Structure 1
Amino acid sequence: MIIKRTIRPLFSVIFVFAVAAVTLFFRAIVSGAGRDPYPDQNPFIISQTKHIPSLFNATLLKFSDVDLADASLRQNVEQLVDGDFLSFRTNRQRSFLSAGRYRLDIGVRNVRGSAMDLRSPEFHQLRLDFRRVLKDWWRQRRFDSEVLSKSNLVNALKGVKYKSCAVVGNSGILLKSNRGEEIDRHDFVIRLNNARIGGYERFVGSKTSLSFMNSNILHLCSRRGGCFCHPYGEKVPIMMYMSQPIHFLDYAVCNSSYKAPLMVTDPPLDMLCMRIVKYYSVKRFLKETGKELESWSGLHGGTEFHYSSGMQAIMLALGVCDKVSIYGFGKSDTAKHHYHTNQKTELSLHDYQAEYDLYEDLVNNPQAIPFISDKFKFPAVVIHR
């Protein structure tokens, strides 16, 4: 009995220590799992949500996934497919049917620049072509994280990938250095929104492989006879994203007269660009203001918010080039907004600073860019300022 009484306290002590050790061990595991693995990074980009990489914030991804303009865009497309052009008198639409910003023009113009009778066989055929391309575009308007890897991006540009590409923006900072010859040495050169190069060759070069623009530019060109929109030469292909669905009417008229290809960006690329830019814009907004997530829309144009032409041209280059050089993106207190115009202010519907954050990640940390498939291999990117 004496032996049993001396052993039992010993086992009790050992048992207590064992329980305490196991408890501390599991507490350490739980504590380590909950600790921020990136203590020096922005707290808005850290998340431990299941199925979401820890680099991204699940709330921001979900918020950026929503296109605020989708409902009104859908309504516009349905009206246009039904041929309800006149309803756009009050919808701020611009096309062949509008002159100025809100006024209805006297009539559609044909490829010769003369007025077109809306009851004519010519306009009937135009309307059929317009409806066809618009419906095809809307049908393809789906998000695809692998769009940059898809062959149709490359096929649109002669079916080959290029070893080196230069995307030339329009910032006034281009006038600070003579990079014209350097730009022209690239295999493929993309220019934006018909920016003038005459007289600026030593700053911006003279070579142009692709003219990239938004459809508002084509609309302005289409008001001239022949739909002429070729400041870089008639053989230079044009690619544009559709700012407004009704601009497919301009496209339908001009496409038949162009000697070089007149292309429209893939809708999945449009949707990828929108999500990425919105993500960067919201992330910067939260970091700088500390306001609620829902406050972002009211301060960034709401349904009018959009990525810039330059941003999408860079995204296009990622999919068709082995190396991408970026020129003329950025701003300076001593430089004009555009090197070739006297424009002094930025468009409020773009968040250029958020786009600059994206470009920095393209150079230094492409894995931090959301919505792009993990399978995509980013090319080398260099920014020249």
Structure 2
Amino acid sequence: MKRPFRPLFSLLLLIVIVSTLSSRTVFRQSFSYLQLDNHVSLEPSVRESNSTLLQFAAIDVNEAHDKKEIEQLLEGNFGSSGRYRSFSSWQHSNYLNIRTRASTGRLSFQLRSPKYYKIWLEFRKSLRDWSRNKWFQPDIMLDLIDLVKRPIDRHSGLPDSNGRYASCAVVGNSGILLKTEYGELIDSHDIVIRLNNARTEGFQRNVGSKTNISFVNSHILHRCARREGCFCHPYGEKVPMVMYICQPVHLIDYTVCNASHKAPLLITDARFDILCARMVKYYSAKRFAEETGKSLDEWALVHDANQFHYSSGMQAIMLALGTCDRVSIFGFGKSAQATHHYHTNQKAELHLHDYEAEYAFYHDLVERPQVIPFLPDKFKVPSVVIHN
């Protein structure tokens, strides 16, 4: 008598299972969307239309490789990849006499003096501290006062304050500055941020002479620090420096230069680096999709996803957004007649940057900051003016 009820029971059980699985799928999708939404401050219509771009920008194609590289460096292995060729200069420099075994590439730790062994220990500590923060946390924008402004203010003898600088000028290095006379206007700002050791001598009328913060990428410091007697701080040893790390091995250069610097030499938080990387990738992918109509997979081929990176200028502007009430941008742009840098004859742009995408980001800062992705809801974009 019970057998006729089995098909009905089985059918009901199947309906319950399917319903449960469907509910779980919807829940997962909703939860995934909410996770994304927690990190993005966008108008609802913009958020919905750009969800694919947001997810694409969040992918770090180098994450596994970078993690392995850091682990190898912490173990003393500098010879297993072409990424470490920069260390060969250290082997023969007057700073360190570090030998590597040809077979393994592992350091033999034969250092000339305790001073150099101390440099090795400090390098490992800096690398550990920096690498611990390699994760996405957009709220890092709310911490820039503590991480950057306060150490600089203490060095300058200014009172401790939660407030921002009243006005900041971020001076780019574009050759378009040679057709301007912004020098006096630039120097009128409370804080002047200059990029990658660009010299001011002979260009004061165009770019001013005042420097409060020197912002550099670690390649700049590396090229300087590996030469004996090189002056690591061209604006003066008392001018604070802020640097982002291009290759983890460059933290050795930071350790050496920091010993001779009488002002803060600050490394940007890796969470800040990741935020900048996502934003630039988003704007680049968005521009590519709109202009070409091609898939995002093709963007990766055109822009060499493994090498693609934000420019020093973009991150310096992001730094100013978190520490200044008013941000003025100078020397960001190009023309067919202008050199890439006002202080050199270089014409070509670096292929690992998408400058047009970064320009689009700067204009959104001025005209519609509400559409900029990945910024936390609590963060208020300050007043931004672009001087071309």
The TM tier, using the shorter chain, reads 0.7 to 0.9
Report the Cα offset of residue 225 of structure 1: 3.0
Asked whether the 8 Å contact 1:108–1:116 carries over to 2, the reply is no
Matched, 1:237 2:240: yes
Give the corresponding residue for 1:278.
281
Give the corresponding residue for 1:349.
352
Equivalent residue of 1:359, what SS? helix
Give the corresponding residue for 1:41.
none
Distance (whole Å) between structure 1 residues aligned to residue 33 and residue 118 of structure 2:
52
Matches within 5 A, 1:85-124: 85-87=78-80, 90-93=81-84, 95=86, 97-99=87-89, 106-110=91-95, 118-120=109-111, 121-124=114-117
Matched, 1:337 2:322: no
Asked whether the 8 Å contact 1:94–1:246 carries over to 2, the reply is no
Matched, 1:126 2:119: yes
Read off the aligned partner of 1:338 and give its amino acid letter: H
CA offsets, 1:174-206, max 9 Å, x none? 011101010000000000000011100000000
Asked whether the 8 Å contact 2:303–2:352 carries over to 1, the reply is yes
Distance (whole Å) between structure 1 residues aligned to residue 146 and residue 361 of structure 2:
24
Give the corresponding residue for 2:6.
none
Report the Cα offset of residue 86 of structure 1: 2.6
Give the corresponding residue for 2:73.
80
Equivalent residue of 2:250, what SS? helix
Q: Which runs of 5+ in 1 are unaligned?
A: 1-48, 100-104
Read off the aligned partner of 1:228 and give its amino acid letter: F
Greater shift in the superposed pair: 164-173 or 296-305: 296-305
Give the corresponding residue for 1:382.
385
Report the Cα offset of residue 50 of structure 1: 5.6
Read off the aligned partner of 1:374 and give its amino acid letter: D
CA offsets, 1:44-79, max 9 Å, x none? xxxxx9644321311111110111111111111010
Matches within 5 A, 1:291-330: 291-330=294-333
Q: TM-score, normalised by structure 1?
A: 0.81
Distance (whole Å) between structure 2 residues aligned to residue 125 and residue 364 of structure 1:
50
2:57 pairs, out of 46, 61, 64, with 64
Distance (whole Å) between structure 2 residues aligned to residue 262 and residue 76 of structure 1:
24
Read off the aligned partner of 2:379 and give its amino acid letter: F
Distance (whole Å) between structure 2 residues aligned to residue 289 and residue 231 of structure 1:
43
Read off the aligned partner of 2:167 and give its amino acid letter: S
Report the Cα offset of residue 123 of structure 1: 3.4
2:211 pairs, out of 193, 208, 212, with 208
Identity, % of aligned positions: 56
Asked whether the 8 Å contact 2:93–2:228 carries over to 1, the reply is no
Distance (whole Å) between structure 1 residues aligned to residue 187 and residue 363 of structure 2:
24
1:149 pairs, out of 118, 133, 142, with 142
Report the Cα offset of residue 227 of structure 1: 5.0
Asked whether the 8 Å contact 2:193–2:316 carries over to 1, the reply is yes
Asked whether the 8 Å contact 1:188–1:208 carries over to 2, the reply is yes
Distance (whole Å) between structure 2 residues aligned to residue 297 and residue 246 of structure 1:
26
Give the corresponding residue for 2:20.
none
Asked whether the 8 Å contact 1:239–1:264 carries over to 2, the reply is yes
Equivalent residue of 2:327, what SS? strand
Report the Cα offset of residue 226 of structure 1: 4.7
Which structure would you say has the larger Rg? 1
Asked whether the 8 Å contact 1:164–1:323 carries over to 2, the reply is yes
Read off the aligned partner of 1:157 and give its amino acid letter: I
Greater shift in the superposed pair: 288-297 or 315-324: 288-297
Q: TM-score, normalised by structure 2?
A: 0.80
Read off the aligned partner of 2:193 and give its amino acid letter: I
Read off the aligned partner of 2:92 and give its amino acid letter: G
Q: What's the Cα RMSD here?
A: 1.8
CA offsets, 1:280-311, max 9 Å, x none? 00000001111111111111121110000000
Distance (whole Å) between structure 2 residues aligned to residue 142 and residue 207 of structure 1:
35
CA offsets, 1:361-380, max 9 Å, x none? 00001111100011111110
Equivalent residue of 2:216, what SS? strand
Distance (whole Å) between structure 2 residues aligned to residue 229 and residue 60 of structure 1:
40
Distance (whole Å) between structure 2 residues aligned to residue 141 and residue 157 of structure 1:
24
Asked whether the 8 Å contact 1:180–1:205 carries over to 2, the reply is yes
Give the corresponding residue for 2:18.
none
Greater shift in the superposed pair: 122-131 or 323-332: 122-131
Asked whether the 8 Å contact 2:226–2:253 carries over to 1, the reply is no
